[in-house]
Structures are given as C-alpha cells and as structure tokens.
Structure 1
Amino acid sequence: MLKGLAKEQGKTVITSIHQPSSAVFRSFDSLLMLADGCVVYFGNPVDSLQYLKQQNYECPGGYNAADHWMDLLVTDSAIDEDTTSHGSELFEAKRKLIEAWDGEVVADEIENGVHVKASPSTDVEDGTTEIQEKKYNASWMTQFYVLTHRSLKNSRSAVFTSMNIIKAVGVGAVTGLIWFQMQNTERTVLDRSAYFFFTMSYWVFDAMFLALMTFPQERAIIFKERASGAYHLSAYFMAKTISEAPTRLSLPIFYMIISYWLANINNRFVVFLGTTFCTMLSVMAGESLGLLVGASVMDFDKAMTVMVVVSLALLLVGGFFVENMPSFIKWVKYLSPFKYSFDASQQMVFDRDVPCDGSGVLELICGGNSEGFATSEQVNEFLGVQGSIGFNIGILILMFILPRYGAYWFLNRKKGGERGT
C-alpha cells in the first residue's frame, strides 16, 4: 500500500518498521540504520548485506537480514560489556559499524546530497594538529537552493489546491458580475473606486493571515534545524521569501483577469497591467506585515490577535471609510498599504475625462448637469488621491521590503534563546 502511494501520489514515504520479513525488507527503496543516534548504513537494503560482509559481519545463510542487523545494533542495557564476553562483542560490533560508516564517502552525502569538504588543519604550539571545524557542511548558495526547492514544493501543494483555485475563480466571477460592465461616466466613479478598495482589502487580508502562520507553524522545525547547524538563518529566510512569492501571487492574478474585464473598469490593457501590478505589490506588502507579526510574536493565537487589530486599524484609516479622522490618529493612514495601492490604482483607472450624466455624484464639478466633463485631475482630487503613481508604488515597495528585514531581525534575535532549549 505504501509503495503504491509513493508511486501514484508522487510522495516520499519515510517509516520505521518492527521485525520486517525478508520480502518486506527487500521491497524498500532505501534503508537507514541507526545505532545510538549514529548512522551505520544508508542505501539499498540488498546492498546492506554486502556492506556487512565487507565489515566482517556476514549474514548467515537463510537468516533474516533485518534480524541480523538487529542482532548487531541492539544491545541489552542489562548486559555488562566489561564483564560479559558476549556483551563486549556486541558493543564492539556496534562501535566498529559506527566508525566504519563515518569513514565512508557516502556518509558525507546523507544530508541533502551535498559533499562535505574536509576542513583544513592548523598546527598549534605543542606540535599537535588542531582540526578547524566548519559550522555548516554546505555553502550558503547550496543551502539556499535546497531550502528554496523544499519551500516551493510545500507552498505549491498548500496554495494550489482545488478549493483555493475555486475560491479565486469564484470570487473573481462574483465580483465581476456585481460590478458588471461599468461605463466611464459620472455615475460609476464611486463604484469603480469601490471595486479597487474591495480587491485590495480582500487579497491583502488573505496574504496577511496566510503569512502570519508561516513562522509560528514552523517554529519547532526552524530552531531544531538551526540548532543542528543545518543552514544559515538568512538562507532559510531568503528561500522562504522568494519561493512563496510565485504561488502567493498566482491566485490574485486569476482573480484580476476574471473580475477586471467582467467589470470593464477601464478597457485599456496597459491600465489592467498597471492595476494588477499595484494589486500584486499590495499583496506582497500585506504578506510582509504578516511575516513581521508572526516572527515577532511566534505564538499563533497571540499573533492572530495582534494581526486582527493591526490589519483592521490599517484598513479603517486607509481613506475609504472615514474622511474626517481626529488629527491625533490621522497620521496612521500613512502606514497603511491600502492607502498607497488605492491611490496608485485610482490614478491609473481615471486617466481620462469622465462625462457628466446628471447623477450628482460629482455635483461640485459637474453641477448636476448632464453635459460637460470632469477631468481626471478633478476626479482624483474628489476621491482624495494623494501623491503620484510612482510615489505610491515606491512606498509599496518599501512596505514590501522593510517589514521583512524586521521579521528577519526578530527571528535572528530569538534563535539564541530557543537553541538553548
């Protein structure tokens, strides 16, 4: 069953087994034998018997290979190796197998298939040789490559589920139908503006709370692997950041392709590309904020509480819900990614004059008349847009980068205390 699962699902099955039969033993693709936490063999099960023969521990004919391994490696704690000759032989066999495997070249390849180069030695004053121990067995680039590959596989399987794809397509279709075929008129100015605020809010929140779970969920793994000297924290962090970006952005892109053209927000393709780019930047900025909160708190329940308060506060001060905020809190809006993505996208969408239609939406500009036009500058001023497109995009890029530095700082700061436990 497990072999069928591995082939059909493309999964790697790792399991321990108690007293397997000869047939089951030979069916394994790879065999890892441990003694006192040390590797004594890693490779093909059938080849393990030849390896034991080379070490002068040949398996008797007709004897179960698994039982022979257990006889060599499992010693009874009640046996006194100093006073019992049989006990001494068992301990000696285990010790020799551990030392023999340490001398094998393949032992250097067990961790991620990476060759470990011997560290140089130096002579000390008393004439003895001191071995310079390397903290990490693999280079930073090798660590980064392996961790990126691992993270990409994990994120791809977590994001590209049938339910997530259905969610993105479904929300895109519903949104497009609700804002179906908007015309470039005075009547639709607020509707088209609301489309973008909803889009930014939905996908930024989605990214925030998904990223929030990253470090609290992997906390035990991170500190365990770091304590064993498996990799640099920077290699892990960069791999996590880069590998998850393509999968994180794919679903919002599906949504934009469907909803934008159904809603007919602006029929210029370059505007579609620009607003989609703004959406992607806001998603990445939201993800960065989620990573920062998750790394600083590292407890999922507490991080969730903090994230709810922070995200809703940034949403409310983003400029769409409240225009007249108290002066003592008004400055908070300049920390909100919602504000900058909204301001940049509005300038792209309202890039041309808007015909007046007498609806009264732009009454101060059109005066309730059905003739004339409101210029793009007047519309953006009416919507409270601030800063140029380039300025707003620049701030979003900073909001994407700076919180990640903060998240890395918190992780790096926590590692010392955690590694001691």
Structure 2
Amino acid sequence: MESEMGDLESQVHGSSSDGGDDLSPSIFRSANRPVTLKFEDVMYKIKVKEGERWPCGKKPLAEERMILKGISGTVLPGEMLAMLGPSGSGKTTLLTALGGRLGRRLDGNITYNDKPFSNVMKRNTGFVTQDDVLYPHLTVTETLVYTALLRLPNTFTKQEKITHAETVIAQLGLTKCKSSIIGDELLRGISGGERKRVSIGQEMLINPSLLFLDEPTSGLDSTTAQRIVSTLWELTNGGRTIVMTIHQPSSRLFYMFHKVLLLSDGNPLYFGKGDQVMDYFSSVGYSPSVAMNPSDFLLDLANGVSDNKGQDPAQVKQALVTAYKSNIAGNLKVETQKLSRQFEENKLDNKQSSRWTTTWWQQFSVLLQRGLKERRHEAFSALRITQVLVVALICGLLWWKSKNFQDRIGLLFFYTGFWSFFPVFQAIFTFPQERSMLTKERSSGMYRLSAYFISRIVGDLPMELVLPTAFLTITYWMAGLKPSLVNFFETLFVLLYSVVAAQGLGLALGALVMDLKAATTLGSVLLLTFLLSGGYYVTQVPKFISWIKYISLTQYSFKLLVSSQYKADETYDCGANMNCIVGSHPMVKSVGMDNIAFAIVALGLMVVGYRLIAYAALTRIGVTKQ
C-alpha cells in the first residue's frame, strides 16, 4: 500500500500544472449538459419539538413550522441566481431542496430540464457547503486528486484524472499552495479563501452543469470574495446554471448576479433580474432615502425596516409579500408554464445511467489510501504512543518477574480491562468525527457506503494492532509470564482478537449515538458492567444477573488469556510446600477453562456483529433522498 501511495504522489507531482494538457480541458469550458432549473410553490415544514420556541421566544401555535412558503422561480443555463435574506429566512433550506438533498415534508415541484432529480442529474450537479468540509492533514493536491479518482468516470484513465486535478488547481489559482496541507482550527494550513477555492474545485472536477453554493463568500475579505464570485461568473459563460446563497454582498458583487431572490421568514419578496430590483421596490413604494448598497437595502426590507413612517416591521413585511403576489407571482407562473411547453416540444432525453462512476474496488482502494494518509498522524501521535508505553513500563515494573499465581492472573485481567477501554474509546470517535465528510461525499454520490466502511475497517486495523502488540511485548517479558514462544503468541493472538472485538463495540456505539458525550458515557457503563461481571472481582455472581457474562467481551477475553498461559490440570505454588490445581482457583473457576471453542466463536460473533450494527446505523446518514 505504501508503494501505491508513493506512486500516486510521483504521478501527481509529475503531471502538468499549467492547464495546457489536452487530456484535461479548462474548468471554464462549456457544461456537459445545460440545465434549466425550475421550482414552483416550494413549501417545507418541520415538526416543532416539545419545548421548542420560535424566534424572539414566542411559543409555537402549531405542531408544524413552515420554513418555506410557496417559493417559485427559474434559472436558465448561463445564469447565476443569488438568494438573499437575513438569517433564518430559509435560504440554505431552499438551496438544499433545490440541490436534491432535502426529502421529507417538502411540497411543490422542482425540476431539472422539466424532469425530476435523478442519477443523471446528480452526476451533473455540484454542491459547495458553507463550511468547508475537508481533511486537514491532506495537501491541496492530494485532496483534489483523491476526489478526481473517486468522482470522475472510468472513461478517464488514472493519469488523466490526476492531470485533470492539476489543471483545476492551476485555474483556481491554487498552484502556490498545492503542496500545503488544508489545516483546521488547531492545525495551521491554507487560508480561508484558498479553502473555499479547494471546495469549489472539488465540485468543478466533474464539470457540473448545475452548481449550488451555500455562502461562498462567508468570512472572506472583499477582495477574496470578489475573486471567487468572478470565477463563478466566468463559469456561467460556459452555459452552467449557478445558484448561491449570500448574506450581504458588496455593490460590485451584487451587480454580477443575473437574478436575485429575496426571502423573509420563508416568504419570497422579489424574484427577477438583479439590475431591476431597485426599480421594482421603488414602484411599490419603497426606496432608500440615501444612495446605498442594494444588498443592504434589501436586507433592511427583509427585516421589515423602511423609511416609510408609521409602518412597523410586520406591516412592511406583509406589504412586500402582498406586492410580490400582485406583481411578480403571476408572471413567474406564466414563465414556468412556457418553459414546460418548450421542454415538451423538444422532448429532451433524460436517460438513466449507472449510479456509480467507478467500481467498488476502485472506491475501496482510493478511500483506503486517503484514509491511511489522513489518519496516520492521529494513530501514531506522540501522545498516544507515550501513553501506551508509559502504562506498559509501569505494569512491567509492578509485575516485575512475578512468581505469585494470583498476581499473574491479575495481570491477565488487567490486559483484558485496559485493552477493552482503550480501543473502545478510540473507535467511538471514528464516525461522529467523520459524519460531515460522509454526508457531503455520499450526497454527491462519490462512493458506496460499503466501500467506505470496509476501507475504514481495514485501514484502522494495522494502526490499532501495533500498540497492543508493543504493550504485550514489553509487559510479557518484564512480568515473567511463561517464556515459551508458543504461549507468547497465543497470548498475543487472544489480546489482538479482543482488541478487534472491542474496536467493533466502539464503532457501533459511535455510529448509533453520533454524540461523543453520550456515546462515551454509554461505553463507560457497558464496559464497567462487563468488567465487574468478568469473573475477577466477583466470583459468585447472583443468578438473576449472571446472564451478563454471556454478552461480556471481558469475560470471554479473560477466559482465553488464562487458557493461553495455563492448563486446567496444571498446578501452582499456593503455600508452604503446597501445590494447587489451576482450575480450582476461585477466579479461574468463575470463568472456567472449558468451552474454549465457544469463547472463540463468541468473540468472533462480536467482531462481526458489532460492525454490522455500525454499518446499519451509518445507512441512516449521508444518503440523498430521491
């Protein structure tokens, strides 16, 4: 695997970065398939949870809250629509709905070339979220190359995909930072504007006909924002359809938008050409008293603020909603009907295609390589290694060349306890931390969930097994356990087997709960319960609660560890000139040394079963409802 990763890096750095390779046309070329976006009377409701309040502390009057209230519009190829409105006006919800990523409780009609959302449409749609969801330890080049390998179809060769990524890097002005890591809040990397361009570049790799962007200029200075919007404006020249939400653009940005949609509390107040918006509001009695940025004026109106005396905010909003229905809604309906008739006459083809552009094995291989690159810093961090080595040395010193049988049994039980807690709490963080990335990439149709899951499991195994191997190697010989290599490797096998099972439990808890605090608490309770019923602390467990041992990871691991060191009829020194049978020792007797095969099978079922639970839990997220 390392050689494959090295080959990939050499291919990346050896490919063209000047955008002139014929294999990878410019990102500003024409769209593969021009798309006309049409939405009619889009409404969206959510259930109001008990105790939830509306803005300003008002108590909800109904069980459902209307987020979008009958919004209509059209965006043609070569047009850029900007959706404006104050926070909570429904901009992001509408963008998500138009991008085919919002399912339940959505009413109305959204079509793409007069057809519903489909696999073909998903292949031609890019979606850039407000938060740049990127892996912090990957470089700009690695981020875009791995995306290209996953998203571009097999009509491209591997080298063509890499070259394509390099071209996008050059044309988005990312060449200077191509070898820099992305970074995050705790890790210094590229700038915010560069991160945003990387996010846009990930979507431009597929040459989308329809591009959605949620607040692409959020948190950026005016110059950087201007550069990004200018890039998007150039993309429309290739026949692309672009829709974005934007909070408060400058005057320079505002007049680059072909169309503007103004929202207030889920109601449309304006839909039309950007250069006609000021004339429209003047015609309905609302005009600024002084020259000002159009977006500032529109946001004031959306908040119910106007220069008209005697009108409170609620009156202003209601008047604008009424004006919209009287002056714009009818014209929009006529326009959408006209477009529908045109599509019926042209009968544009909407043939279905395969849901996936790459094979399962390709997805697994790329995800495995990417995962190993990203997580090696975390898996082999100095803190984590130091933690394990320090505990191993302390254990080795405490049990130094121990001759006492009970002490040795205690060490075996400590192995069981420590290497249950450690892998469980490492694995719990796996899926909650990657939820945003999984949702983003799965919604884009980048890969199968099974390919992601298996690559994650396989990639984590070497990292998760190195530390327990080092731990046992140190403590085993320091504590003076049986020096036979057979006994050592049996003990190592059992320990690693139990680590894999414990890791599965952590994965299942994290995927089921998806809340780190709650998952950690639940994991602690479960492991402590297993630990107490494991046969070491309580040798006579009451019958009404003894059933716990049959689902206890600790109990089976302890049984197998004892069996790796001792035989049931073996004797040990239990006093002055006295020898006792191992199988009769209370702690050994409580777990038993029979049914070893059953214990092995039980742990095997946990290894598989916990992972199946985790996989089933993951199917709830990251899938677009079509």
**TM-score, normalisation: structure 2:** 0.47
Give 1:80 shift: 8.1
Matched pairs, number: 326
| 2:384 pairs with 1:164 | yes
Tell me, in whole angstroms, the C-alpha distance in 1 between the residues paired with 2:512 and 2:432: 10
Percent sequence identity over aligned pairs:
31
User: Paired residue for 1:239, among 423, 435, 455?
Assistant: 455
RMSD between aligned residues:
3.8
1:153 corresponding residue in structure 2: 373
Aligned counterpart in structure 1 of residue 255 of structure 2, from 51, 60, 78: 78
**What amino acid is aligned across from residue 391 of structure 1 in structure 2?**
F
Matched, 1:39 2:190: no
Alpha-carbon spacing, 1:254–1:129, altered in 2? closer, same or farther (3 Å) = same
Equivalent-residue separation in structure 2 for 1:171 and 1:35 (angstroms) = 46
- Give the secondary structure class of the aligned counterpart of 1:356: strand
Q: Partners in 2 of 1:36 and 1:28 — Cα distance? A: 14
Partner of 1:301: 517
Matched with 2:167 is: none
C-alpha distance in 1 between matches for 2:539 and 2:384: 35
Q: Do structure 1's residue 415 and structure 2's residue 542 form an aligned pair?
A: no
1:177 equivalent to 2:397? Answer: yes
Aligned to 1:264: 480
For 2:358, the aligned partner's letter is A
1-structure distance, mates of 2:364, 2:203: 26
Q: Report the AA paired with residue 379 of structure 2.
A: V
- Tell me how far 1:182 sits from its aligned partner: 2.1
Give 1:193 shift.
0.5
Structure number with the higher helix fraction is: 1
* 1:74-106 Cα distance to aligned partner (Å, 9 max, x none): 995436869xxxx9xxxxxxxxxxxxxxxxxxx
1:158 CA displacement: 0.6
Provide the secondary structure at the position in 2 that maps to 1:325.
Answer: coil
Q: Does the C-alpha gap of structure 1 residues 37 and 283 become closer, same or farther in structure 2, counting only changes over 3 Å?
A: closer
Specify which of 381, 401, 408 is matched with residue 608 of structure 2: 401
Partner of 2:164: none
Rate the CA distance shift 1:208–1:68 in 2: closer, same or farther, 3 A: closer
Distance 1:241 1:72, change over 3 A: closer
Matches of 2:229 and 2:591, distance apart in 1: 78
Matches of 1:156 and 1:37 in 2, distance apart? 23
Structure 1 residue ranges without an equivalent (≥5): 1-6, 16-23, 43-64, 88-125, 359-368
Residue segments in structure 2 that go unaligned for 5+ positions in a row: 1-12, 14-135, 144-172, 180-193, 208-226, 237-251, 260-274, 276-345
What SS does structure 1 have at the residue aligned with 2:353?
coil
Counterpart of 2:139 in structure 1: which amino acid?
Answer: T
Q: Is the Cα contact below 8 Å between 1:350 and 1:376 reproduced in 2? A: yes
Structure 2 residue aligned with 1:374: 580
Q: Could you give the per-residue CA deviations for residues 179-215 of structure 1, whole angstroms, max 9, x where no partner exists? A: 11123xxxx1211100011111111101011111111
Q: Which residue of 2 aligns with 1:12?
A: 139
Q: Which has the higher strand share?
A: 2
Match of 2:596 among 377, 384, 389: 389
Query: Residue 397 of structure 1: CA displacement?
Result: 1.5
2:140 & 2:203 partners in 1: Cα distance?
A: 21
Q: What is aligned with 2:508?
A: 292
> Within 5 A, what are the aligned runs for 1:31-180?
39=204, 72=234, 76-78=253-255, 130-180=350-400
Provide closer, same or farther for how the CA distance between residues 27 and 163 of structure 1 changes in structure 2, counting only shifts above 3 A. Answer: closer
Separation of aligned partners in 2, 1:35 and 1:274: 52
TM-score (norm 1): 0.68
**Could you say what secondary structure the match of 1:408 adopts?**
helix
Mean CA deviation greater in 128-137 or 210-219: 128-137
What is the SS of the residue equivalent to 2:204? Answer: strand
The question of whether the paired residues in 1 share the 8 Å contact of 2:508 and 2:611 is answered with yes
Q: Partner of 1:353 in structure 2?
A: 570
